[in-house]
Structure 1
Amino acid sequence: MKMKKWTCFLIGTLMISSLLGGCAKTPETEKAEPTETKSNLTESGMPIVKEPVTIKFFAPKRFASQNLNDIMLWNEYEKMTNINVEWNDVIREQLVEKKNIILASGDYPDVFYGSRFSSSDQQKYGQQGILIKLNDLIENHAPNIKRILDQNPEIKKAMTMPDGNIYAIPTITDPSFTAMRSGTFMWYKQEWLDKLGVSMPTTTEELYNFLKQVKEKDPNAIPIGGGPIDNLISHIKGSWGLGNRGASHPNVDVDPKTGDLRFIPVASEYKEMLQYIQKLYSEGLLYKDTFSANADQAIANGIEGKYVVHPGYNPEAMFKQKGYTGGLTLTGPHGDQLYANVGATVGSSGQFVITSNNKYPEATMRWVDYLYSDEGAKMFFMGFENVTYKKTADGQYEFVDEIKNNPKGLTQDQAAAQYLTWPGGGYPGILKQQFFKGSEGMPSSVEAVKKVESQFPEEIWAPFVYTQEETDKMSALKADIETYVTEMQAKFITGNVPFTEWDKYTETLKKMGLDEYMEIYEAAYERYKK
């Protein structure tokens, strides 16, 4: 009898130990910071930890030649922080594929950096315990991010998931940096305006007449082109009153007639806009390979100075071409004059997430928080004084000649990427005009935005967030609906599908579930308003 009791006791003890051991391995409990790790933290400033630690990051890069484990920015930051980041870097074109493989494998890095976790990904992997909650870490260990959120409640709202948790840190743009929030502009080659003796176009009709004159004067010139069709649409949609809540929601805004949400690609105004672009295309005014050219072809034409009007990023940065000037907000056929191509202060979502494998979450949060300070932003975007940048007599910052006017013929982005990692990649941080010298921070871009900012929408939406159930439904709907919209956009513009098929197009969208798509959007909008 005693033996039986003793055996039962042992079995019970083993079962309890097994259960406790199982609990110890759950993501929820692994998030707890060991006491010895906390004691290694410094109170504030640099270094972040007293004794060196290593943290594993997964991140994209733009250029294959870059090695994030041996680049000046991160080598110097390691010396400052005492934190050695072990980078697993991939070319940005492989980001989604590689990220999904890692997530499926269960062998996660400590941090996914610049990896574009959508709000649905944040909720999905956050609720599974793969991503840790950042609310308390921001409150207690991220004074720079906390200050930004306290000063800009709309940013916090865009970062907070419906369950009340923050799982990721986004790219943030200083609200006053309007050239960055616009990003791209309509750039006109000044010599052509002078050659034809005309003023900068102020209406869509004047733009058409200008492009037509260019074509007649020089059949080899490309009147307008140099980027994807979305660039052109984003700049002229406001001339038909579309996009009245800004660029973060390219397919949805508010119908001014009813006050209800509107799916832009079925609006009659959108059809008129496409008919206008189709006229440009059919008359050879819009670059004929807009829908088929790759980025290399587009850049090659730009470097040769072939584009007379370029809707896109600053030609000085893109093509090493000076002599372009930013255009005006065009008034459309019904009197609409709106500059819709301006986004919210919250940029790419999910640029920095910490996984449950991370043994140093407090130190990791301190590491990324520095990038949201003035000194951190200057380091990240400008680099190091007298190596990558110099201070001018009037207290401004500018890249050294090796980067601005590279002797080997490298573009500014290519030259900067030898030392820094911001060109062409996603990243956490805050974009400030005084430190960002990429396309949007160039003096000509700053001047360009001054011409159009008085026509910005009165209300600019930040990205919405969705519940997990909404996300599951929306993912399927979005894939079908938005892919179809893009395909038909190209077919209408090229004339492969005539506009007599418009009703069939809108009916197809309804059959694809457009009403449900808009119901989900409405629910997210109602939460956003609150």
Structure 2
Amino acid sequence: MKRRCFSSVAVTLLLTAGILGACSKDDEPAEKGENAGNVNATGMPIVEEKIQVDGFAAKFFSSQDWDSLMLWEEYEKMSNVEVNWTTVQIEGLAEKRNLMLAAGDYPDFYFASALSKTDLIKYGEQGVFISLNDYIDEYAPNFKQLLDKYPSVKQGVTMADGNIYGFPAIYDPEFEALRAGTPWINKDWLEKLELKAPETPDELYVVLKAFKEQDPNGNGKADELGWGSGYGVAEFTSYLRGTYGLNKQGSMNINLDFKEGTEEFRFVPATDEYKEMLTFLNKLYKEGLVNQDVFTTEPQTFSAEASKGNYGMLSEVDPKELLKLDGYVGVPVLEGPTGERAYNTVSTGLGNLGMFVLTDKAKNPEAMVRWMDHFYGEEGNKMFFMGFEGVTYEEDAEGNFKYLPEITDNPNGLNMDQAISEYLTWPGGYYPGIVRQQYFQGAEGKEATAANAAQTKPYRIKDEDIIPGLNYTLEENDKVSAVMTDVQTYVDEMTAAFITGKQDFSKWDEYKKTLNKMGLQSYLEVAQEAYERMQKEQ
């Protein structure tokens, strides 16, 4: 089962998106491809006469052969577009993708390749990536409808020069379970120890300490653990930021929020509130109430340990779906030291912008924009996530879709992701398109996660308060990159050091002075200019 995509796959990408920007290029009408007259305006096939195109993509499972995968074979029959795939596993994606671009040996399009804003800017400016604006207007009705419906998404995908260079991953803003959800706490352990679910950080400390010391599993051994995550400390801070009054403008620009009562940015990791949050996490860490390897463990390693059922609280997705562990429910949003009770680590629903990009080698841009747009519509969305009726899914009398038992309870012992990956490509979280609740069968689509999201929603940041990811000009991006590459590394290192106790909090002022010496103020000035420009363009 994949982890919660809005706060894990997506958060790393959104962090990159938040500190990097866009380019400047004269507006030019889209050039017609060589076979534009071969393209049907609507319906299938996309082209009357079959075309072949070259695509590059990242895949999660090495066993997949995309040239013979059912998804692409069936879509080829429907569309008359044959893709010659070159694929690489996600772990080797960045190196392979960057080498291809640097050598000029790149395909017609990149799919599921997580191109950063920096790449979009750089290669868009060079003309290697083509502007999609005019093609979207004419050949992408599904995607265009989404841009019209969600202005924040349109803001996010449009670079500072007004161009759109990539089709993004979108997590449906109406799919609440993808937007906000708290960690999971063992309700059975709470009942055994006659404890109530924590409502404040102090109460959370008491609960985690009781879990660790009072033998709630009743086996007579001191083998219980407190709060665990296999995806780093960001899973902890995502839950706690709102509690400590941070990120009141959402998580699209994770290092930025407004000074109280203004629209002037401050740098979140240099605030007193951030220090207070780290002080609390340090208290948990030094008493062994969070997993001590949180900064180094790999997801698979952690999952193997967590599946033993020894953690009282777990981040990521529902432990029942991920680890086959019963008894966990969503923990409440905590009320912070100032009486604030908020969940702020929420995005607009926009994930990585560079999940589908057309290059200047594309001879059939009209056809390929239509090819991609299909997956933002209902039928394409259903095919991408559910597969094929009678083969991977069935529809019940009420019109609900569900995977067949061969997928959910595979006779060969495959988990759901492994089983569906014999037909589809979505597991792993790398894809363009939109994730809708109706067709998504991951943990986020299940009842328990919906209940967790429902109890979080009253405290969730309002959509109108979330600022889309900032888009910079090419010059601004160079300035931001020059500062933030080193600043982000330093922030990550010091965050870990403060939490683990390797750095004493008496060094906090020294830490802030170092940030300023690294050029933090120049970054804030550029970010402020980008925000004000975005406001004017609304």
Q: What is the TM-score when the length of structure 1 is the normalising length?
A: 0.91
Q: Does 1:113 align with 2:139?
A: no
1:483 pairs with 479, 486, 489, which one?
Answer: 489
CA distance in 2, matches of 1:221, 1:403: 33
Q: Quick one: which of 186, 193, 201 aligns to 2:198? A: 201
Question: Is the Cα–Cα contact under 8 Å of residues 306 and 323 in structure 2 kept in the other structure?
Answer: yes
Is 1:392 aligned with 2:390?
Answer: no
Structure 1 contact 187–311 (Cα < 8 Å) conserved: yes
- Show CA shifts across 1:186-225 (max 9, x none): 1112211221122221111111111011011133112100
2:422 is equivalent to residue 418 of structure 1: yes
Choose from 199, 210, 213 the match for 1:216. 213
**Is 1:40 matched up with 2:38?**
yes
1:226 matched to 2:223? The reply is no
Q: Shift of the alpha carbon at 1:519?
A: 0.8
Greater helix share, 1 or 2? 1
Q: Is the 8 A contact 1:185 1:314 kept in 2?
A: no
Q: Secondary structure at the match of 1:451?
A: helix
Give me the CA root mean square deviation: 1.6
1:461 aligns with 2:459: no
1:515 aligns with 2:518: no
Aligned to 1:494: 500
**Aligned counterpart in structure 2 of residue 367 of structure 1, from 371, 393, 396:** 371
CA deviation vs aligned residue, 1:148-177 (integer Å, no higher than 9, x gap): 112222211111111111111111222211
Aligned match for 1:73, one of 71, 74, 89: 71
Structure 1 CA distance, aligned partners of 2:468 and 2:390?
38
- Contact 2:182 2:456 (8 Å CA) reproduced: no
What's the CA shift for 1:405?
2.3
Give distance in 2, aligned partners of 1:29 and 1:234.
Answer: 42
The structure number with the bigger radius of gyration is 1
Structure 2 partner of 1:11: none
Matched position secondary structure for 1:309? strand
Deviation at 1:345, TM superposition (A): 2.2
Return the structure number with greater relative CO, CA threshold 8 A, min gap 6.
Answer: 2
Q: Distance in 2 between matches of 1:29 and 1:470?
A: 25
Task: Give the aligned partner of residue 409 of structure 1.
Answer: 413
Q: How many residues align?
A: 500
8 A Cα contact 2:285 2:500, kept in partner = yes
Write the distance in 1 (CA, Å) between the matches of 2:241 and 2:208.
Answer: 18
Moved runs in structure 1, 4+ residues, more than 6 A?
Answer: none
Q: Distance in 1 between matches of 2:29 and 2:277?
A: 55
Shift of 1:402: 2.1
Q: CA deviation at 1:31?
A: 5.0
Counterparts of 1:55-454 in structure 2 under 5 Å? Answer: 55-182=53-180, 185-218=182-215, 219-227=222-230, 228-454=232-458
Are 1:60 and 1:425, in contact at CA under 8 Å, matched by a contact in 2?
Answer: no
Distance 1:244 1:504 in 2: 26
TM-score, normalised relative to structure 2: 0.90
State the distance in 2 between where 1:373 and 1:349 align.
18
Cα distance change on mapping 1:173 and 1:66 into 2, 3 Å: same
Deviations 1:1-23 (A, max 9, x none): xxxxxxxxxxxxxxxxxxxxxxx
Report the equivalent of 2:18: none
Identity %: 44
Amino acid at match of 2:497: K
Quick one: distance in 2 between partners of 1:392 and 1:163?
A: 48
Q: Which amino acid aligns with 1:513?
A: G
Tell me how far apart the structure 2 counterparts of residues 259 and 471 of structure 1 sit (CA, whole Å). Answer: 21
In 2, Cα distance between equivalents of 1:202 and 1:397: 37
Instruction: Give distance in 2, aligned partners of 1:411 and 1:191.
Output: 26
Post-superposition shift, 1:323? 2.6
Q: What do residues 432-485 of structure 1 show as CA deviations (whole Å, max 9, x unaligned)?
A: 111111122222111110001111123112211100001111112111011110
Distance in 2 between residues matched to 1:525 and 1:489, nearest whole Å: 27
Provide the secondary structure at the position in 1 that maps to 2:118.
helix
Measured in 1, the distance between the counterparts of 2:72 and 2:519 equals 47
Q: CA deviation at 1:118?
A: 2.1
CA distance in 2, matches of 1:191, 1:386: 39
408-417 or 128-137, which deviates more: 408-417
